[in-house]
């Protein structure tokens, strides 16, 4: 029930966006600081919010991709090692392509759902579904 309702809502939103190009999704810019052997992304949970994803999911992705450990402290991500902001920016784009944007219509209005053992990315705008990597 809820899913259908959300899908309908998503369709409505997508139509509004189509007629309003200025409503385009803007990629979040990471606010990165390096302290010795630690790298802090200060706006990490805001970025996850912008993607409408769980902060822990985004953290898991970064831990795997950067092959380092990380923790969340007061909405900031703290990673071990010296990581450049350009690498973090690139990885954010990879995350968005893999876990946020619909491959069919290009909209970011998607959500992750569990179907059996698979993680599915489901698009509110066009209804497309595709299987995504399970980071667990
Ligand atoms: Zn779509």
CB 134 within 8 A of CB 60: no
Q: What is the whole-number distance in angstroms between the Cα of residue 102 and the centre of ligand 1?
A: 5
Entry pTM: 0.81
Q: What is the whole-number distance in angstroms between the Cα of residue 61 and the centre of ligand 1?
A: 22
Q: What is the whole-number distance in angstroms between the Cα of residue 26 and the centre of ligand 1?
A: 17
The pLDDT, as a whole number, for residue 4 is 65
- Rounded to an integer, the average pLDDT of 92-99 is 98
Q: What is the whole-number distance in angstroms between the Cα of residue 130 and the centre of ligand 1?
A: 10
The pLDDT, as a whole number, for residue 136 is 75
Q: What is the whole-number distance in angstroms between the Cα of residue 136 and the centre of ligand 1?
A: 25
Q: How far is CA 54 from CA 14, 35, 58, 93, 112, in A?
A: 23, 26, 7, 16, 10
The pLDDT, as a whole number, for residue 16 is 47
Tokens of 54: 């769980």
> Looking at domain 2-132, does it have CATH number 1.25.40.340?
no
Mean pLDDT for all residues in the chain: 89
The vertex-122 CA angle with 136 and 50, nearest 5°, equals: 75
Which residues place a Cβ less than 5 A from the ion ligand 1?
102, 104-105, 123, 125-126, 128
Q: pLDDT tens digits, residue range 12-68?
A: 555 544 544 446 789 999 999 999 999 999 999 999 999 999 999 999 999 999 999
Q: pLDDT tens digits, residue range 99-124?
A: 999 999 999 999 999 999 999 999 99
């Amino acid at each position: 029930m809820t899913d259908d309702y959300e899908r309908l809502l998503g369709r409505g939103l997508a139509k509004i966006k189509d007629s309003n190009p200025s409503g385009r999704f803007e990629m979040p810019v990471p606010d990165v600081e390096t302290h010795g052997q630690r790298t802090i992304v200060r706006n990490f949970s805001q970025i996850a919010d912008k993607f409408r994803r769980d902060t822990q999911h985004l953290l898991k992705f970064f831990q795997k991709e950067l092959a380092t450990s990380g923790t969340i402290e007061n909405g900031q991500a703290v990673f071990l090692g010296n990581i450049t902001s350009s690498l973090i920016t690139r990885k954010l784009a990879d995350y968005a392509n893999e876990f946020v944007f619909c491959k069919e219509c290009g909209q970011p209005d998607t959500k992750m759902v569990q179907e059996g053992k698979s993680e599915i990315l489901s698009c509110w705008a066009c209804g497309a579904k595709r299987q995504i990597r399970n980071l667990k």
